[in-house]
Structure 1
Amino acid sequence: MTFNKKIKLGISVLAIGGFIASGSLFFTSTNAAPKLSELNTPRISLEASYIDYKTVSELDSNAELIVIGTPLQGFDDRQHIVTSFDDGTLQDFYTLTNIKMDKVIKSPEGSSLNLDEPLSIVEPISYIDDAGGKKKIAYEDYTELKQNEKSIIFLKKNTQGQYSVINMDLGKFAIEPSSQSPSSSVDKQDSKEQFRESVLEKYGLK
């Protein structure tokens, strides 16, 4: 996986209580309930160096694949990848998420995507285990795609040939507004909601 990033030392660990309290906002009655382990798991956010697309037009132009799809598994049941350097220092992490594609909005010329087959995509988030126990770790406060929640997702192939979510948390948006996952701050959530509205309007999803 390559998000063209580097891990910086500043790590912000969100309080478990705050994470649990906000968890009730994450899900609607139409979605699969999160496992208790997900709600009780503390979060770590790492800064990353990545290309930040600030407009929907930029995001559209730079995405190789744009789909509307739904994760087939809860986060706990997905494949979580963590790699380390020889000295044990964290090198990289990501999660492979299988999605059911409902619609392909944009795809590379000559590609042949089968809507009947799941598509495996890379998300910049995972689980790690250390002396303090199990934690959810993400780049730039990224929040994972939710099971049974239909989203529009902007993707680009990395150097391993895997389709990866681009633009961090502003690279995927739930179609239904009530099922949006809050970010780490009110300002960031407001900004994401404004961006989301522009995305849905552009692709006729409102």
Structure 2
Amino acid sequence: MKSTYFLLSAMTASLLLVGCNGDNVDTGSNEINSKKISSSEVNVSQSSTNENSEVERVVTHGNFVEYETEAELFADAELVVIASTNEDFMDREHIVKYVPSSDEEEGLPKAIEDFYTKTSITVEQVLKQPASEKVADNKKISVIEPIALLEDGSKILSVENYQEISRGQQYIIYLKKNTNGKYGVINMTNGRFNLESTDQIVNLAEHGHDNDKAKHEKMKDTVKNRFAKEIAKAKK
């Protein structure tokens, strides 16, 4: 993993848990408060293990309620599934919204207000769902991830080091609906768990996240223990 720093000048981000004002997850206390990042130092990472290894990653902070245990995560999630996607990350629908500029700001860099990605997943097994809704196995649904690719393809923006759902990999994903009825991943990277391989989780000591990888792996072990039978079935 190669990491560098650069100054994100004249750029702001008003971030919600899994998207922007139009598609944010309505999670009560789990909604990220409006947070602006202006001319601040952020982390840019290049991963050598995923399909987007040559694209710079801009990791931004966001205020959100973190679930410390899988039990808390499972209790608050509305939909939990074993699922996968056949979409390459670069080919997904990426939404990046900009702050409207005034006449005085003409010619200045655009300020980013919100960003997220819509990812189409195929539900292989439903592990939890609302009583009022039935999500069938093998159904395709669109979910929101707190990450996006800039229009020019030069950078990937990620909230709290969120790692995208990779094509062709099986995941257990914890989801919750937003005010528009769209499902989004909750708890950042600790809301989706790769069953095929070890996730590339960066320890962001510079951002106060010096144990991200250990925390993720610990929660992942609990997830795999809870759903051992379902995972075995999914792998057959």
Report TM bin, short chain.
0.7 to 0.9
Runs of 4+ in structure 1 displaced over 6 angstroms?
A: none
Instruction: Please report how far the alpha carbon of residue 48 of structure 1 lies from its aligned counterpart in structure 2 after TM superposition.
Output: 0.7
Match of 1:7 among 31, 35, 41: 35
- Give, in whole Å, the separation in 2 of the partners of 1:43 and 1:187: 19
Match in the other structure for 2:216: 192
Deviation string for 1:122-154 (max 9, x for gaps)?
000001257xx7110010000000000000000
Higher alpha-carbon Rg: 2
Unpaired runs of at least 5, structure 2: 1-22, 26-30, 102-109, 205-209
Residue correspondences, number: 187
Q: Quote the offset at 1:58 in angstroms.
A: 0.5
Identical-pair percentage: 30
TM-score (norm 2): 0.73
Matches for 1:116-135 after TM superposition, within 5 Å = 116-129=138-151, 134-135=154-155
Please say if residues 11 and 47 of structure 1, whose CA atoms lie closer than 8 Å, have aligned partners that are also in contact.
no
Alignment of 1:85-100 (within 5 A): 85-87=99-101, 88-100=110-122
- Long gaps (5+) in structure 1: 27-33
Which range moved further: 113-122 or 94-103?
Answer: 113-122
Q: Which residue of 1 aligns with 2:6?
A: none
For the residue of structure 2 that corresponds to 1:92, the secondary structure is strand
Question: Would you say 1:137 and 2:157 are equivalent positions?
Answer: yes
Counterpart check, 1:180 vs 2:226: no
Match in the other structure for 2:48: 23
Aligned with residue 147 of structure 1, among 167, 192, 209: 167
Counterpart residue type for residue 85 of structure 1: V
Matched, 1:202 2:226: yes
Query: What is the DSSP-based 3-state SS (H/G/I as helix, E as strand, rest coil) of the residue aligned with 2:166?
Result: coil
CA distance in 1, matches of 2:157, 2:35: 12
How many Å apart are 1:183 and its aligned residue? 2.5
How does the TM-score come out when normalised to structure 1?
0.83
Question: Corresponding residue for 1:74?
Answer: 88
SS class of match (2:211) = helix
Cα distance between partner residues in 1 of 2:132 and 2:41:
42
